[in-house]
Structure 1
């Protein structure tokens, strides 16, 4: 047996019906939990249905107004941005005569699909053909393609596939790839099916080429939005495509799995920066020291591996800033090439696909 075992790349996750069912069940449970905080009533009647005086000074158990005729127990500021969107979607659903179909950023929140960049604070819902009307705190999205639906508790949302494709058609490339990566990593979507749907979009429709590109580049081996962002930056900068989630071994056994590896260059990339060395709250000084020491020893063992020449670490700030990321990668030894080996669709790429400030 060789002293150094061969490197192995983790296989890309595949769609699993049980994973999808479990994900939908978990999302329904989270919506039900939030619905338990909701009260559809007027301000004057609120005191009649609770033991709380709505006119009293705010205290624990007080109620907050979401919109006309809709209150929630507690302070919305205590909720995450995702939970606030879901609460408002519940309020709009309660007031609607016909159940609305939630789309885009609202669907992503309900389905717990991450993105990069600022999401709309408005509730986004499909505008049925031929139906007029407006709704406060909501944005009606016109669509030429009838949305397919998924029921999460009492909320109708666009399916996971449709939500990913809608996001890919109008969000930035890094955001679209992040959303798709997360669904693939959780095994709740299938690359082939997503690509087929993107390629079936009407020719010339808005964002169809960007959606196809994002889904060609999506990879379920990405384990965090930062990894997805980093890989998008590498593509945009014309860098060679790295291998993802490569396992390293030495004579003592398993060293660790790295985020990115350029085998020909012998370079490892880790999308974590200082987070890998962050000390969790509650640890004793000795425990904290041991955790940091283990992380350092891991890097030391990797650098002693015959296939490794350098290791680079970066964080969110560096990955978000394209010029900084480009300089950091150049200093590491990863530079632009003519053909980076990225899977891209036929024909010219969308104009915005390489829109980075250099």
Structure 2
């Protein structure tokens, strides 16, 4: 593995970090133009990396990764020196209490909280559960409110597993948190996670006897508007939706898209009502429409969509998974995603043009980008 001196020298010249988690390891890239990257890796070769969090609070850059080893099992490791060294708790960062009679299968989501809550990091896991850390992601505590929820016995596993894949703490209210799971739907807490209520009115579930049930939806990913916390976007198993009231109700906004199935949804870091999706043909095919990969962006809350495909290699028959995409906070915003075919794309202009920055990787499971 590269030495610390070389890594620190690289960091002083570069200002953008791109982290790519795959089925067989982690790649870390730095760049000063978001086009030309210098990558290290694979870190954790032969370990699955389904989740990454980049924490730039408190004047440092901490990379957190959810690991899954077929031999050692799952845990969370972190690095404060761009991957030169890694630390993980001896007994594991996430361990179920004995009374739950459960064991950790996979860490699906790592989400640092807002800047005014330093040290707080959230994790969403399999089996479906949410965890909170107050020490920067080194140790996590199970959220008992969600674990003990009366609906839990009815939450099912999606095609990829039983995943709490989205954890969205509100940057404006420390007591407001949204969680999304596959399958189960969207749940909201307004008391810091003590109690949770389903918030799925209007979201379809054609695979269930009741097409718009209270819960049970297979929501694939949820994103929050940067300025109005009540506004949420959701990519569903059949449907793209927008809520203007914190999930109390949802409206279908996939009109104008070539398909309403997909896994990814991203919100702009500064501009309201701007979001990106990557449509796929449902349900058995799960390929880009007509084998032509494209990102679609809305700038008006889903009223209209613009197709973005300049620079993408075609044809493409691979899926982009729910967390294999990210947006940074630079100006203009950078957009990044990777396919299950192992190609990673970067755009420094909000998707107007893409460049392949990595190719021939194992299946890309998670992509995260940050200005450091």
Q: TM-score, normalised on structure 1? A: 0.27
Q: Which has the higher contact order (CA 8 A, sep 6+)?
A: 1
